Every structure is written in C-alpha cells, then in structure tokens.
Structure 1
C-alpha cells in the first residue's frame, strides 16, 4: 500500500498539472509493475529492452492518465548495450525519466467486463523533450482489473536523441514501443 501511495502522489501531483485533491475525486487504478518494452530493428542489428517497473495511474472518472518510467530500469540482453543506451543516447543521468500525461478520448465503463479500443491525447516526454501525442491502445476490463496495452513509435529526431555516425546503421531512427499495464483499484 505504501508503494501505491507514493506512485499516486508522484504521478498525480508531480507529473500532471492537476492538484492532488482533484485526482482524489475520481476512481483510481494504478500499477508500479507495468511493462514497457522497445525494439530497434536494422539490417545490422536488432536491439530489445524491457522495463518492468513502469508506474501508471488512471482516473476512470475524469479519464486522466499518467505514466512514469525510469530510463535506467530498462534491461538489455547485454551490459554494453545498456551502458550505451544510458550514457550515450538517453543521457539517463541528465534525463532520468520518461512520462506520458494525458486524457482518454473515450469514456469507458470499468464496472463491466469487456474490451475497448481507445486513444489518449497528451504529452509524451523523453530525453527532456516533450511532444504532443495521441496514443492508441486497448483497455480490457476483467473482474475489477484493467489491462491496458498500447503499441506506438518514437522517432529519435523528435526527442533530439542523437546516434553517433559510427553506429548509425545499427540503431533504427524510429523505435517501436509496447506498453502492457495491469491496473488495479487504488485504495486510499
């Protein structure tokens, strides 16, 4: 419970420009163990990484959603890839977090089981650069839990992530991202 309280305060209070009290008015669902993965594919090399510590909170009354991940929580197949990702490309010491804050464009009745295609419009921030984004996803409601899945792409140039010319052919300029979160009711 303590961990969820910290997530709630961090995401609702810091990530969004919404007072914590306003968030407390709605029905909240949260996770601290969401999975975000990415894939870079080029003819020279495929790179995959996964972050199993993504934090997310959804206010089902207002539709507001916030996602936060620490860049250093991405695990790679080898330590050298992880080191290059954090030090050379993402500059994780300078830009330690990536966030999405926004609002669902559709209303979903979370009291009834079912699957819903939806979009969320907001601001995606990575590498210190914020971009307006509309992300597509699926929200499945099953027995009181919410399963949120989304696939989207991130162009490195949009976030001023530079790839040295020597490894340019090994890293895709557009990265495929997958998000899979299981959100459960937040209890105050």
Structure 2
C-alpha cells in the first residue's frame, strides 16, 4: 500500500530504471545552549530513476521518534503542526546522474524542492551515492534553517532549540523489477 501511495505521489516523474524503498531513515539534531534535541524517522519512502536522475522522498512527520514523549508531542503539535502538514517531501534531480559510475561511491550535487510545514524551498545539497549488491545507497547530511520553513521558535524556549538543525538521511533502495 505504501508503494502505491508513493507511486501516485510521484506520478509526474518519468520512470526508467527505478530504485525504491520505504525503509530509509532521517535523523535530525538540534544543538542549543540548554539542551540537544534529536529524533529519527525510519519510515522514509523514496524513489530514484537512474535513467533521468529524478528522485522523490517523502517522510511522515508524526513518525519521528524522540527520547522523551513530551518532546515528540511538542514537535508535532507546537512546531511542525503535523495534523495540518503531515508530510515533508524532497523532489528533484541529480545532474548528469546517468554519467555516474554507480559502483564507486561518489559525492554528487542534488538539486530540488523541499516542502515542509506548508512551505516549499529550493535545496541544493551534497550526497554520497553508490550501488552495491544490487542496492542503491544514498547518504546526505545538511542543515535546515527552521525560519526558512516558517517554523517559529517561541522566545521562552529560544535556548532549547537551534535555529538550524542538522539533518542526516540514509537510504537503501532496491531495484523495481
């Protein structure tokens, strides 16, 4: 069912040879003077078309897990408003993707649009990509400024939450046959 929903979501991508997964992970880390906050989501869905270099990733906001349940509640209700904005997406392409030597790990530029909290922003990030044992691997680490996505930090907790969080994504995608 998740694959069907993902395929419908990604219907604007012209597919060639595809790699797909719904078990990727996204981790974020907020380093602030009063406390560090981190969470992980292990239900990231993604697809990459190796013929075109087009990709799409989707993460359900409420699936982020925190060490403390109260943090998770505040994250969903007060900051991300996950009932109103249930998903974050990142769609785009990797330039010259078809020219890459997939069997050697390499760093590539990833260009796309991230939509989160109802706001779409252009994103250009670096990622490591390679194929091993018939799986396509993608790893990336980048910063996201909360203000860019209109995520407000109340002044009372300004020392508890960083203005920019570090996001790490790890995907292991299988070839669609």
TM-score of Structure 1 vs Structure 2, range by shorter chain? over 0.9
Residue 40 of structure 2 corresponds to residue 7 of structure 1: no
Of the candidates 102, 105, 109, which is equivalent to residue 119 of structure 1? 109
Runs of 4+ in 1 over 6 A off after TM superposition: none
SS in 2 for 1:170: coil
Once the two structures are superposed, residues 89-125 of structure 1 have per-residue CA deviations (whole angstroms, 9 ceiling, x without a partner) of: 0011111100000000232468852112101111011
What residue number does 2:66 align with?
76
1:61 is aligned to 51
More helix by share: 1
Work out whether 1:40 is the aligned partner of 2:30: yes
Change over 3 Å in CA distance of 1:157–1:111 after alignment to 2:
closer
Q: Which residue of 1 aligns with 2:152?
A: 162
Once the 2 structures are TM-superposed, how far is the Cα of residue 4 of structure 1 from its aligned partner? 3.1
**Structure 2 gap ranges (5+):** none
Give the TM-score normalised by structure 2. 0.94
Q: 2:65 aligns to what SS in structure 1?
A: coil
Q: In the alignment, is the contact (CA less than 8 A) between 1:34 and 1:53 conserved in 2?
A: yes
Query: Where do 5+ consecutive residues of structure 1 fail to align?
Result: none
**TM-score of the two chains, using structure 1 as the length reference:** 0.89
